[in-house]
Amino acid sequence: MNISKTLTSTFFSIAFATAIGAATYETAYAAANTTISTTSAAEQFQVGSMYVEKYANPQAKGAPVILIPGLSSGGYVWDETVKQLRAEHELYVITLAGFNGKPALPGAKLPKAKDSLLELIQTQKINQPILVGHSLGSALSIWFAESHSNLIRGVFAVDGLPVFPGTQNMTLEQRTAMAEAGRRQMASADAKTFSEQQLQYMRMIGLVDQAQAEKIAVRSATSDPVATADYMAELLMMDTRQDLPKISVPVALVSPYYATDFARMNMSEDAKSAYYMSFVQGIPKLNLVSIKDARHFVMLDQPTIFHEKLLSFINQL
């Protein structure tokens, strides 16, 4: 069996098809009584397409941190991370326009997000922050580091890559056609269908913890379906691998591994890690962090080990 080919096709078919409500395989998991915390920000403002919650402790001595969530998510996915970091770090928690009930903005989404991140760092005079990005936020952070490493001190990239798994060998024309077809299907969903899609995705791909999956799905469903489709299509068309050698800061890539999911493909944790590493070859200062018993929202499935790894990365910078 060709492990790379099998894993690539499975990742693409499950992740994309589920995102547009087409995945149908069955699984069952134990529910857990975990709740999503809420935290009051000291300051809230908007920079471009980024809605920002700023947590500033005058006694904080650590490096500033910018936390960027993924597709259709809001800053709430970082609530526990805020609790872990706010005493020692100035924090900027992002929600992108169109997600979590925030108004969408017209035009291309990812280039605007990248420009907004630059504007945030410059206008707020943030001194070499650490970027912590999840999923789409991870891909965005890696892309930003390719051209602006001089402005940051590191990237903690959580389950997001410079090219979407399954598209790495496609031509631009193939990738564009696929992305546009997905955009049309996702954008046409009414509120009920979009909500059902989010629940299906969170239960099957997003989290092991099914109680958490349901809570996150409710929040995710408040995002704009059209904007979500736009972001997803742009992510599918993105491939920034050629500029990875330009990243001069340390990068840690977090790879969650849930054995039950990968048993269907007879994939080991090492094979999954090798697959992820194949997408980021060229980053000079790279470390892969594999976290077991977690799905896509690894910071919610395994908060203790996740924050241990994050703090270790921050302390090494």
Residue 264: the pLDDT is 86
Q: Which of 49, 286, 6, 269 is nearest to 156 (CA)?
A: 286
Pick the CATH number of 3-25+56-316 from 3.30.420.40, 3.90.580.10, 3.40.50.300, 3.40.50.1820: 3.40.50.1820
155: amino acid identity, one letter? V
58 burial level (CB within 10 Å; 0-12, 13-18, 19+): exposed
Sequence-distant (≥ 6) Cβ neighbours of residue 137 within 8 angstroms: 67, 68, 69, 70, 94, 158, 160
Q: CB within 8 A of 221, min separation 6: which ones?
A: 191, 194, 195, 198, 199
Distance of alpha carbon 277 from alpha carbon 123, whole angstroms: 35
pLDDT at 236: 95
Alpha-carbon distances, residue 15 vs 20, 102, 148, 215, 309 (angstroms): 9, 24, 30, 20, 25
- Helix axis angle for 136-148 and 109-123, nearest 10°, is 60
CA distance 115 to 113: 5
How big, in percent rounded to 5, are the helix, strand and coil portions of the chain? 50, 15, 35
Is this prediction's pTM over 0.85? yes
**Domain layout of the chain by residue ranges:** 3-25+56-316
Q: 96: part of which helix (H) or strand (E)?
A: strand 91-96
Question: Which pLDDT score is estimated for 39?
Answer: 54
pLDDT of residue 40: 61
| Segments in the chain forming alpha helices (H) | 3-19, 79-85, 109-123, 136-148, 172-187, 191-201, 210-220, 225-237, 259-263, 269-277, 298-301, 303-316
Mean pLDDT per 10-residue section of the chain, whose length is 317 residues: 41 39 27 38 92 94 97 97 97 98 97 98 98 98 98 98 94 92 91 95 97 97 97 96 98 98 92 97 98 98 98 97
Q: How far apart are CA 71 and CA 224, in angstroms?
A: 11
